[in-house]
Structure 1
C-alpha cells in the first residue's frame, strides 16, 4: 500500500516567501513490516550480495561499559514480547508472566564480549528505480547500507558502511550471510525486515538553519496561529515550535532533504578528503511520528490509528537512535570520498 503524506496544515511559503528558494525534495521511505527479498528495496531485509564477495566486518573499538547481547537473543526476546502482547490482559497485570520475565533475564545474562571481528548487519537496500533522485557512481543502480550494531567510542552510535553496486553484475547470491557476534544490549540497532513505500515530499530548513530575524518572525507567527487553533493547550510555550514540528523537516526514514537539527546547532560537515561541505544521503530515524508531529502521519496510517485495535506503525523497523536520528552524509564531489555520520 502506498503512503500519502497529508498536505501541510499551513502554506508556509505563502506566509514567508523568503523560504521558497530553500525548499528541498526528500523521499520519505515509510518502512513497514514485510518480507522483502534481496531484489527489493528494504530496511532490515536481505541484501543482493555476491557469493564471491567477502562480507564486511568491524574491527574498531566499541563502547565496552555496557554488555552486548546476541542477535539470536534479541530475536527471541522480541518474539516472546510479541506473543505476550497479543494475550488478553488483566487490569493492573503486566504483559509478561513470571516465567517469561525469568526467561528474558536469562537471555540477557548469557552473553559476553569476545575479541573476534563483528560481522556487519544489513540496515537498508535502496534500488535507484524506487527512490526518485537517488544517484550513485556510474554503472550502479543500488545502494546498500550496513552497520556494526554496537555503540562505537568515537561517536557513541553504530558505524555504517556504504556499498554501491550494479544489480546486473550479481550472478550468484550469498546464501547465508555472516551474522554479528555482538549487538547492542537493548537490540536498538537491529532493524526488523520492512518493505518500503517511497514518497517525494517538500520540506524546509529546521529553524536554526534560518537567519535570526526570519526565525523570530516565524516563531511569533506560529505562536499566534496555534494560540487561536488550540486555546486550551496545556503548554502554550510549545506553540512557537509549530514550524519546526509541522512545517519544516519531514520526520522518519528518508533520502536527501534537510537535516533534523534539534539537539545541537546546525553545522556544515566537511568532507575529510576535499573539505567541501557534505550533503545528507540517508536519515535513519527512531520513529515516523510522535506526539508533536501527528500531521505527518500518512493518510493510510491515520485510518488504521482510528480503529480500536488498529496497527500503529510509527517504528516498524524497531530501530532506536539515542538522539532520535542518525544521518549519513556523502561528498558531492566524489563517491570515492568517505562518508560521514551524525546523530541528531
Structure 2
C-alpha cells in the first residue's frame, strides 16, 4: 500500500530510515552488529558505570544463558554474589566463609560496574548514520547491566570513533570485562549480523507532529479500516509510518509516552534521532513491515509470522517493558551529551 496515495499531504514529511534487520550470526570486531565484539583498542579503558546500583538477590551467568538458549530452555538462576539464600546456612559468596548481611551486595558490586556492549555501527555499512563529533563514523552503544533507583532505571553510554584511526591500533581487546551475573536473561545480547535496508517513513501522527487536519484524516481512515477488515486491518501508526525493531535515523515512535519535544541540554538545539533499539523486529501490529520471506501470505496478523524467536526477537534484548529505546543527539554539536528515551 502506498501511504502517499492515501494521504498525498504526507509527501513533504517523508523521511528515510535504515532498518537493520539483525539476525543471529558471528559478527567480528570490524563489522556492524548487535551483540558482537567491539572494535576496542587493547589498553583503552572500558566504560564503567560509577553510579549506585540497586541490590540484587539472584541472576544468571553468561555461560548458563548461552547453554539455555542452545537447548531452548530457561537458564537456572543462582544467588547473587554477596547474598544469602533464606534458610540456607553459610555465607554470601559460596566457599569463602565470609559472613555477608542477607540481601546486600558483595563488596565492590555497589561501586564501579563495567558496561555491557550492545551494538556498534559503521557508516560504511549504514550510510544514513549521522556523523559524530569531529567526523566520527563509528558509534558504539553500551548499557549498564544493573538497575538504578526505585523505578529500575537504566544507564547507557555512547562511544564515538573515527574508524580509520581506530583500525590502526596494534592490538584489540579480546575479552571485555564482565559482571559476575546478569540480572535478567535478556541483558545478554545474542550476536547478530545486520542486513541494512533503507525505507521511506513518516512522522508519528499525534499531538503536533503533523497538521491537526491531517491527523484527523488519518484517525478516520484507521477507524474505517478496522470497521471494514476487523482487528488485523492496517493502521497508520503500526503499518504505514514507522517500522519496528532496530533502525537508524528517521522518526521516533511514541506509543508509550506520546510525542516529546527534546532540546539539547547544552545548547537547546532540537535533538535529532540517531538510532532506535527495539526488542522485537515484528509483531501482530506491524504486519506490513514483516519481510516477505518471514511471513505466510495466506495468513494475517501474528499467525502469519514464521521463523520463531530468531526472526521475531533475534537480539534477545528488551528495553523497558518492550518499548523502543530512542537515542537522540545534538545536530549542532554531536559531542554534546546524548538523550535516551524509552517510548
TM-score computed with the length of structure 2 as normaliser: 0.81
Q: In structure 2, how many angstroms separate the alpha carbons of the residues matched to 1:276 and 1:308?
A: 43
Structure 2 residue corresponding to 1:291, chosen from 260, 284, 292: 284
Q: Deviation per CA, 1:217-258, whole angstroms, max 9, x where unpaired?
A: 111112223433x2xx3x5xx86x711110011110001111
Figure out how many residues of one structure are paired with residues of the other and give that number: 306
Q: Which runs of 5+ in 1 are unaligned?
A: 1-9, 86-94, 97-102
Structure 2 residue corresponding to 1:39, chosen from 26, 30, 33: 30
Report the CA distance shift for 1:204/1:76 in structure 2 as closer, same or farther (over 3 A). Answer: same
Q: Deviation per CA, 1:149-195, whole angstroms, max 9, x where unpaired?
A: 22333974431211111233231211222113453x22323211111
Q: In structure 1, how many angstroms separate the alpha carbons of the residues matched to 2:269 and 2:306?
A: 51
Q: Deviation per CA, 1:244-295, whole angstroms, max 9, x where unpaired?
A: 1100111100011111101112111111100111111111101011111122
Q: Secondary structure at the match of 2:295?
A: helix
Shift of 1:58: 0.4
Q: Secondary structure at the match of 1:292?
A: helix
2:341 corresponds to: 342
Q: Secondary structure at the match of 1:188?
A: helix
Shift of 1:320: 1.0
Structure 2 residue corresponding to 1:265, chosen from 258, 266, 291: 258
2:115 corresponds to: 120
1:326 corresponds to: 325
Q: In structure 1, how many angstroms separate the alpha carbons of the residues matched to 2:307 and 2:18?
A: 29
1:79 aligns with 2:67: yes
Q: Which runs of 5+ in 2 are unaligned?
A: 83-104, 298-302
Q: Secondary structure at the match of 2:215?
A: helix
Q: In structure 1, how many angstroms separate the alpha carbons of the residues matched to 2:126 and 2:222?
A: 33
Report the CA distance shift for 1:166/1:74 in structure 2 as closer, same or farther (over 3 A). Answer: same
1:25 corresponds to: 16
Does 1 or 2 have the higher relative contact order (CA < 8 Å, sep 6+)?
Answer: 1
Shift of 1:308: 8.2
Structure 2 residue corresponding to 1:162, chosen from 154, 158, 165: 158
Q: Secondary structure at the match of 1:293?
A: helix
1:244 aligns with 2:232: no
The more displaced of 113-122 and 50-59 is 113-122
1:193 corresponds to: 191
Q: In structure 2, how many angstroms separate the alpha carbons of the residues matched to 1:254 and 1:196?
A: 10
> Is 2:53–2:110's contact at 8 Å kept on the other side of the alignment?
no
Structure 2 residue corresponding to 1:315, chosen from 313, 316, 339: 313
> Is 1:125–1:143's contact at 8 Å kept on the other side of the alignment?
yes
Matches for 1:92-111 after TM superposition, within 5 Å: 104=76, 107-111=77-81
Shift of 1:138: 3.4
Structure 2 residue corresponding to 1:138, chosen from 130, 134, 138: 134
TM-score computed with the length of structure 1 as normaliser: 0.81
2:217 corresponds to: 217
Q: In structure 2, how many angstroms separate the alpha carbons of the residues matched to 1:33 and 1:128?
A: 21
Structure 2 residue corresponding to 1:69, chosen from 59, 77, 98: 59
